[in-house]
Each structure stands twice: as structure tokens, then as C-alpha cells.
Chain A
């Protein structure tokens, strides 16, 4: 069965610190997709990134970077030089390629609350 584990319930850092959010997943499928979403205090869900199982290349976008390792079933998210505006709940999610990805049901982790203190 599919499962996503975000073991860190809450993380508190001081501005400008680097922080890594952990995500471990379980799936029996060989083709799957991983995602990160951000939920700021205002409540909306913002899509950050998608990674395909056949592409283990790490990605960097500004202060954000993602480390995908199939060997450890992890898809970790690092924020460099954190800012107060990064304070949010971050969700990791998994989708298997059922019906070629057509139905694309997302399985979410329980989220990590990141608090960045000024």
C-alpha cells in the first residue's frame, strides 16, 4: 500500500538558518510521482514541485532544493537561509501511475509545521 511519512511534526528555526524537511514514502509501483505542497497560515495549498520516479536528479529553485533518493525512499526538501515568509505547513505527497496516471490520486503525509522566527 502507498504511504507517506513526515516524521517531523513541527520544526522551529531562526531566520537565515537552513532547514530540511524529511519525507519517506512507500509504494510497490515502479512508476510513481512525488510532490511537495506549501500551506501558509492563510490556508491555501500551493504546489511547489513534482518529481517522477525515473528522474532522480536533484532540483534547486532559488532557496529551495529537493533531494530524491530511491535507495532510501526519501524525497527531502531543504530551505536555505530561511525567512519568516517560509513559515507554513509543508506536505509531501505520492501518486502512483494508475491507469497511466489518469486518476492520479494523491496520498499525503501528515505535514510538517515550519516556524521561522525573526
Chain B
């Protein structure tokens, strides 16, 4: 157990509405990541963070923004949700000098 929680776990929202997903970790790790999982694509990196207020874009960052105001929380925001953002979103952390990532339980987002 990597001490990662995600909230909400499920959400249904309408096109055009803003949505914020939260990732919370209890182990004070520096690196945090947001991925989305879609059939036929595996997992793709959206954004990542390498410290408080330090973030960078991943492979599929268009339409998403992130914020990290404290070590334990990494927020993913969809400013104006679209149906193409219907997906399962996973948060992950990296422990220190290790290279593997450990994932949270995921958030299933449906945009209608």
C-alpha cells in the first residue's frame, strides 16, 4: 500500500463543466503523476510534478491543468470537460531513488 487516495472515485459530469480530481499521498514523496487509461491506449501521462509548485506536461496534457500547493496533494483540473475526457484517471507516486511508480485506486470520470 503506497498510501495514495484519489477522490472522487466516480464522477459523472456534463460537457462544459469544470472538474477537479484530487490525489492525496501520506508518505511525503516528491514525484507525483497523473495518467489516463483508455481502451486501446494503455496508460498515458497527462502531467507530473517534481515538487511543490513544480509541474510539467506529459504526453496528453491538452485540456488539463494541475496544481501542487503542498507535498501531499496533486490536483488535476479539467477546465471545461469534454466527452473525449471520459476515462479512468490514475495518480501515481515515485519513491525516492526507485524508478517504479505506485498507483492510486483510480477515478472513473464520465462526461455526458
Contacts and interface: CB of A to CB of B under 8 A. Distances in A.
Given A50-B99, A102-B50, A105-B48, A43 B43 contact: no
Most chain B CB within a 10 A radius of its CB, from A101, A106, A111: A106
Chain B interface mostly helix, strand, loop or mixed?
strand
Nearest to B103: A45
Interface in B93-109: 94, 98-103, 105-106
Contacts of B35: 106
B111 interface: no
Name the residue in A95, A103, A109 with the highest tally of chain B Cβ atoms < 10 Å from its Cβ: A103
Nearest to A36: B100
Query: Which range holds the interface residue count of chain A?
Result: 20 to 34
A75 interface: no
Interface string A1-32: 00010000000000000000000000000000
A71 to B, nearest CB: 23
Interface in A86-118: 91, 93, 95, 101-106, 108-111
A110 B100 contact: no
Contacts of B33: 105-106
30 contacts: A4-B42, A35-B100, A43-B88, A43-B105, A43-B106, A44-B103, A44-B105, A44-B106, A45-B90, A45-B103, A45-B106, A50-B99, A50-B100, A91-B42, A103-B31, A103-B48, A104-B31, A104-B101, A105-B33, A105-B58, A105-B59, A106-B35, A106-B43, A106-B45, A106-B101, A108-B42, A108-B43, A108-B44, A110-B42, A111-B42
Given A43-B106, A108-B43, 13 more contacts: A45-B103, A50-B99, A91-B42, A91-B43, A102-B50, A103-B48, A103-B56, A104-B31, A104-B94, A105-B58, A106-B45, A108-B44, A110-B42
